[in-house]
Structure 1
Amino acid sequence: MATIFLYEIAGTAMLTLLGGGVVANVILGKTKGNGGGWLLINFGWGLAVFAGVWTAYKTGAHINPAVTIGLLANGASEYAPGIAVTFGHTIAYFAAQMIGAFLGAVLAWLAYKNHYDQEKDAGTILGTFSTGPEIRHRGWNLVTEIIATFVLVFIIVMFGRTPHELGPLAVSLLVLSIGASLGGPTGYAINPARDLGPRIAHALLPIPNKGGSDWGYSWVPVVGPLIGGALGGLVSAAF
């Protein structure tokens, strides 16, 4: 259990530190990366996954409740070598992922604190912490998150069945592809912890001009990825 907490917290924190950091670099004012665009964000998040997966290698590097749910739905007997699929281990993964996501968001805020203090637009501030739709229609936003997360988990499970040497690089390229192809409508949370942990951090941190945390939308990037992850695990079991 201690291994799960240590590695999943560290891996998920690395994910949201670097992922939230690239978004802050692109959209906050007076940064070196300001205006870098959507593809820079996609690459940054892909490489954030690369770093997070390497960090959490001892736990199978889930760093995402949707991946944990997908493996559970797939019928895995172990989440990683020596970590049996049990109720207690599942809850430990979820808790560690949420804690790590929160901590990573706080670290990203500290790295860009001066820029946050000068930012006047509440939407820009929230956008560095959590996702939001370009066209707000919760039903269709949910569909987008389900599809994108299905692709993530289905490919991860299928990839894990074949001999390979790419490891974390393959997963990071997959996330880059999902962002470039399916991320436009909602910002591709594809990870409940990645969205909810930083959203809680946004609500708690003393950031000037931050506005609300958009709790009315917050269930979409949690429920959608969980459904998509479960479907990805179930469908991959048929292959």
Structure 2
Amino acid sequence: MQFTLFEKLAAEFLGTMILLILGNGSVANTNLKKTKGYASGWLNIALGYGLGVMVPVIMFGSVSGAHLNPAMSLGQAISGFFPWSEVLPYAIAQMLGAFVGQLVVYIIYQPHYKIETDPDLIFGSFCTFDATGNKVNYFVTEFIATAVMAFASVACMQLPWGKKYPATAGIVLGLIITSMVTSMGGSTGAALNPARDLMPRLLHQILPIPNKGSSRWGDAWIPVVAPILGATFGIGILKVCFFL
């Protein structure tokens, strides 16, 4: 079945929105005071993000490819897996989806944002930062983690078994993301996605949240540039190794 560009963009918008709701929703539920999941731990966040990727990939993978990430769209275009003409429309849809998804998280957890006093916990439910304040580590971690994620994602979707069983590929990808958050997310929170970090950061800036602290715009380029370079590298390695 062929889908129109509008249908593909709708899938990217909704898929990225779901990713943010499930992913950053799990962070807010874990970090903010008096939530039902307060202090439930890093595994709750990892599971939220794993399912946050798996669910829209299974739902929309056959429609748009479920990139959910401008770095993935650009990286696949550079390696010849995706038409250049659709990169910008996809990125816009993904950015808008991330914005709306984060706004939903804010609306749901608004009473908890009002009583939370730790700016790092508030900020962490929106976007990422390096736990030690080391910008070099921030960049290197996001580059490597995104390269691994992009390699694994495109392998799942492009290798013969994934094309034959796309729902299984989506489940495997969700498990990969869960594992990556548990193993590689400790330093930065694992943005891996310019839309997932930039649009929530914008909302953090403009929303009236007490005790929210700085939106850290001086670091904002890192979870944009590093994932783009990482995704391009990871997908490129896959193409070279398997002659796709």
Distance 1:54 1:201, change over 3 A: farther
Counterpart AA for 2:50: G
**Is the counterpart of residue 25 in structure 1 residue 29 in structure 2?**
yes
The equivalent residue for 1:82 is none
The equivalent residue for 1:161 is 159
Q: For residues 208 and 169 of structure 2, what CA distance do their matches in structure 1 show? A: 38
Q: For residues 86 and 67 of structure 1, what CA distance do their matches in structure 2 show? A: 12
Deviations 1:89-143 (A, max 9, x none): 1100111111100100000111111111111222211110001111122122101
**Is the counterpart of residue 71 in structure 1 residue 87 in structure 2?**
no
What is the deviation of 1:3?
1.9
How many aligned residue pairs are there?
A: 231
**Residue of 87, 96, 103 corresponding to 1:99:** 96
The equivalent residue for 2:54 is 50
The equivalent residue for 2:121 is 124
What is the deviation of 1:162?
2.4
Q: For residues 222 and 23 of structure 2, what CA distance do their matches in structure 1 show? A: 19
Three-state SS of the structure 2 residue aligned to 1:133 is coil
Counterpart AA for 1:203: Q
**Is the counterpart of residue 61 in structure 1 residue 66 in structure 2?**
yes
Matching of residues 161-180 of structure 1 within 5 Å: 161-164=159-162, 165=165, 166-180=168-182
Instruction: Compare the two structures and name the one with the higher helix fraction.
Output: 2
State the Cα RMSD in Å: 1.3
Q: For residues 229 and 238 of structure 2, what CA distance do their matches in structure 1 show? A: 14
TM-score (norm 1): 0.93
Q: For residues 116 and 190 of structure 1, what CA distance do their matches in structure 2 show? A: 25
Q: For residues 86 and 146 of structure 1, what CA distance do their matches in structure 2 show? A: 22
The equivalent residue for 1:212 is 214
TM-score (norm 2): 0.91
Contact 1:64–1:193 (CA under 8 A) maintained in structure 2 = yes
Runs (5+) with no aligned partner, structure 2: none
Distance 1:190 1:206, change over 3 A: same
What is the deviation of 1:150?
0.4
Q: Give the % identical residues.
A: 40
